[in-house]
Amino acid sequence: MTNQVPWNKIILEEFINLALLTKDEEMILRTRIYGWTVREQADRLNMSVSSVNRMIKKIKNKYDEVEKYSAVLPPRKSSEKETYLDEN
């Protein structure tokens, strides 16, 4: 998800407020944006890897739901081709 949305402070705060993220979900999102791997998140946040992956999926679903109600949130890039073009 970190490569699918061009995160900045405005987009991040808008999403957190609209999606009503829990503290754990917010921490997972912020640490992903900072570049932590799923393994690092699991170790440092005292969760299992599967719990972190489950939360990431939940965050993505929440983003897709609230994005349509915001003028600030851009649509997530959904294909490998879209993210590849941004990176290269």
Query: 47 and 22 in contact (C-beta within 8 Å)?
Result: no
Could you tell me which residues come within 8 angstroms of residue 66 by beta carbon, excluding any fewer than 6 positions away? 15, 18, 19, 73
Which candidate, 33, 25, 17, places its Cα nearest to that of 66? 17
Confidence class for position 35, pLDDT limits 50, 70, 90: very high
Could you tell me which residues come within 8 angstroms of residue 84 by beta carbon, excluding any fewer than 6 positions away? none
For residue 81, is pLDDT > 90? no
Percent of the chain predicted with pLDDT > 70: 84
Q: Between the CA of residue 17 and those of 23, 64, 66, what are the distances in Å?
A: 12, 14, 10
Q: Global pTM? A: 0.80
